[in-house]
Amino acid sequence: MAMKEDSNLELLIDQLADLIIKSKRIVVFTGAGVSTESGIPDFRSPDGIWTKYDPEDFTYQKFVSSKEARKKMYGMLEESGLMADTNPNPAHYAIAELEKMGKLDCVITQNVDGLHQKAGNSEDKVFQLHGNMVRAICLGCNKRYPLGDVINKVKQGVDDPGCEKCGGILKPDAVFFGETLPHRELNEATSRSAKCDLFIVIGSSLVVYPAAYMPTYAVNAGAKLVIINREPTHMDRASHIRIYEGAGETMLKVMERVRGSNT
């Protein structure tokens, strides 16, 4: 019954706004679902990337093993829309506004699209657990390159572009399956999850570890957990508020109420 659902949703949005107003150290944890309204596909929705490509083809081991695997990776990055130059949506702007209000401790994101920074979150408040798609790194000498330049070379037909300095393999700075997460980001995310008073998950299926441990650290440390996600997750039962609606529309309404309370 639409009416019941809407009034229930309005109630949930009011409750979330109240929690935000009362909280001082909010951690927002995002996954690909926060960027789908910006036009970037997620991974596990019905038309997500892993329904079109086999993740087994994109492990770190495969990537370093052959130039065919590297060609396949660059092809997937282009065709999948993962590299699309898009803009933040209302969910990203809402999270940036939380920082402006002095309520955001940090954003922990699994995304590599850089949209949190583009929406206005400061670099030192965004912890990218799965790296980024801005740079490529030489596996031989660690020299960094703009990833866009490497992809342009591939598009121009250069076969397996390597490091200009040492000839080594160039790898996007994103964390591939089989790779360890960046230590600093993982340590910061872990400790801040355990110190926040409100942990808001937006757009993640919470199935990839160790990133998916973060909400558990928060709950174990006594924080309130909120989950905004279209599909169910294994943490739903532990959540204080659970909203199944779209990230953008939900966060837009929540921030209207939070702003309204400040006046």
From 18, 16, 40, select the one nearest 201 (Cα to Cα): 16
Residue of 12, 37, 107, 193 that binds ligand APR (CB under 6 A): 37
Residue of 23, 110, 132, 239 that binds ligand APR (CB under 6 A): 110
From the list 130, 183, 234, 240, the catalytic residue is 130
Residue of 16, 28, 29, 36 that binds ligand APR (CB under 6 A): 36
Residue of 25, 44, 153, 240 that binds ligand APR (CB under 6 A): 44
Q: Among the candidate windows 59-67, 75-83, 135-143, 226-234, which touches ligand APR by CB under 6 A?
A: 226-234
116 flagged as catalytic: no
Is residue 162 near ligand APR by the rule CB under 6 A?
Answer: no
Is residue 153 near ligand APR by the rule CB under 6 A?
Answer: no
Residue of 12, 27, 42, 106 that binds ligand APR (CB under 6 A): 42
DSSP string, the chain: -HHHHHHHHHHHHHHHHHHHHH-SSEEEEE-GGGTGGGT---SSSTTSGGGTS-GGGGBHHHHHH-HHHHHHHHHHHHHHSTT------HHHHHHHHHHHTT-EEEEEE---S-HHHHHT--GGGEEETTEEEEEEEETTT--EEEHHHHHHHHHTT-SS-B-TTT-PBEEEEEPPBTSPPPHHHHHHHHHHHTT-SEEEEES----STTGGGHHHHHHHTT-EEEEE-SS--TTGGG-SEEE-S-HHHHHHHHHHHHHHHH-
Is residue 113 near ligand APR by the rule CB under 6 A?
Answer: no
Of 168 and 216, CB closest to ligand APR: 216
Report, in Å, the least distance between residue 165 CB and ligand APR: 29
Is residue 188 near ligand APR by the rule CB under 6 A?
Answer: no
Is residue 173 near ligand APR by the rule CB under 6 A?
Answer: no
Binding site for ligand APR (CB under 6 A): 31-33, 36-37, 42-45, 48, 110, 130, 203-205, 207-208, 228-231, 246-247
**Residues carrying an active site annotation:** 130
